[in-house]
Amino acid sequence: MKANVSNKVIFNNTVLRDGHQSLAATRMRTEQMLPILSDLDSLGFGALETWGGATIDAGLRFLKEFPFDRLDALKKGTPKTPHMMLLRGQNIVQYSNFPDDVVEAFVHMSAKHGMDIFRIFDALNDVRNIETAVRAAKAAGKHAQGVICYTASPFHTVEKFLEMGVELEAIGCDSICLKDMAGLVPPYVAFRIVKGLKERVKIPVIVHTHETAGLGAPTYYAAIEAGVDQVDTSIVPFANGTGQPDTVRMLSLLEDHPRCPSYDRPTLQRIREHLTTVYKELSNFTSVTNEVVDSDALTYQVPGGMLSNFRNQLKDQKMEDRFEEVFREIPVVREALGWIPLVTPTSQIVGVQAMLNVKFGRWKNFAPQAMDIALGYYGQTPAPVDKEVRALAAKISKKDPIDVRPADLLKPRMDALREELRKQEFPDDDEHCVIHAMFPQELRQYYEAKKKAAEPKETVVATPAPAAPPPPAAPRAGGGPVKRFALQIEGNDYAVEVEEIRQ
């Protein structure tokens, strides 16, 4: 990470990760990124966010790309700019905790393939759940960035966020990111948090937000006034809305400001033109609802992506007419579960439990993941869990509540993962072990698809039917050359030979 010696604010760029994750369901393919890599590398951003979050899952599941291959390609195309990834602490890039040896192997392999900055968060803001990843990043000689997940609740105060920032510095983090995943932090609150952190810690401070509710750009401006070192921007059309504020927009907002950085606008325009074509190519995965300011995010205090997805889920449950009831239930569930932040995976868990409470009666149908949160299996919640809810979870699940770090209960898995891969005759290196740990079914399907593609295609030659006798007035002069065509019918490939009949 570049040292901020000029006092100009530094922009990181998220278009290769959060930009398309927020606005196009993480469907941008590596080949669509390659044409802009040289231009992105030339701009001098503090970092390019290229990996992590949902990109590893979506790339393997939907795009049939092996995750480390993408990282290799992006690193090769942008060798000058540091690469940054979003890591869910002990969850890595999945939704449950993994043993320390798997976390360590994943970080080591990511560093080996070119990752420079590990932005590490925990959905509950439980610092214990990010310590292993922080140590692993530093052991690999890389930058460990600790994350404060911003959320609004009666429990969360500026002072508590500042205390967490001090704790992150104490465990060895090289910088601190205030991550506002739902775009909810008001400008003056951001100002107070950034100013407080700059007074209490010596390491750089970064702010990350979304434009979901229209607060993103003014929040960045306030943070810059407070002395923030870096902010995250993207590039339209993979910017604004549920994404990060656009780079050119932020440059214009800061025009004549003493901390305004300089990024070449013609180069940004060239990148935008290419991305506009890509955005059209991904039209099946984009939506106008993600492109506009949505004040519902402020009303319900939930991430914008959760709002749009949950409307569809309620429709599937034939509960679309109970939308307001379900979203009024969300703060009830959050409070009972210790005022947990709403970020993957807690946003999905709380949303599902709110729906179940409305449909069946409060806590009459208890989701297993929500019970695990109540019992401590995701980590320590910010505030105490409601005693009655915790007792009910223990009774239904037949699990005892825990107060230890959840990963302390997990056995090492790398040797077992290696053996599982060998039995399937897959590569058993550390790269494959960590992907197999998180996405075993998707990895198997990836190799099955590769094997099928490598198999010889069955060739079917279609012999033309005998030509009808020509009319007497136009006798046939003889056969012409044979033309060959490759056809695909209902997913099957055919080689077809057709003889031209000369009259």
pLDDT of residue 464: 52
pLDDT of residue 452: 84
pLDDT of residue 458: 63
pLDDT of residue 5: 57
Query: Are 305 and 242 in contact, with CB atoms under 8 Å apart?
Result: yes
pLDDT of residue 499: 38
Dist CA 283 CA 279 (whole Å)? 6
pLDDT of residue 451: 84
**Residue 360: CB partners within 8 Å, gap ≥ 6?**
none
pLDDT of residue 482: 44
Dist CA 89 CA 126 (whole Å)? 10
Dist CA 88 CA 346 (whole Å)? 12
Exposed/middle/buried for 293, CB within 10 Å: 0-12, 13-18, 19+? middle
Q: Which fold has domain 10-290?
A: TIM Barrel (3.20.20)
Q: Is the dihedral of CA 346, 349, 351, 357 positive or negative?
A: negative
Per domain, the residue ranges of the chain are 10-290, 315-396, 413-454, 461-502
pLDDT of residue 305: 64
Dist CA 288 CA 304 (whole Å)? 13
Return the structure tokens found at 347: 């946003």
Dist CA 387 CA 217 (whole Å)? 41
Query: Are 120 and 137 in contact, with CB atoms under 8 Å apart?
Result: yes
pLDDT of residue 466: 52
Average pLDDT along the chain, 503 residues, taken 10 residues at a time = 74 97 95 98 98 94 96 98 97 95 98 98 97 98 98 94 98 98 96 98 98 96 98 98 97 98 98 98 92 85 71 84 91 96 90 95 97 98 97 97 97 98 96 98 93 73 51 43 42 40 36
pLDDT of residue 93: 95
pLDDT of residue 490: 34
Helical H segments across 78-205, by residue range: 100-112, 131-139, 158-170, 187-200
pLDDT of residue 462: 52
Dist CA 243 CA 66 (whole Å)? 25
Query: Are 28 and 247 in contact, with CB atoms under 8 Å apart?
Result: no
DSSP, res 244: P
pLDDT of residue 369: 95
pTM for the model: 0.88
Q: Which fold has domain 315-396?
A: Cyclin A; domain 1 (1.10.472)
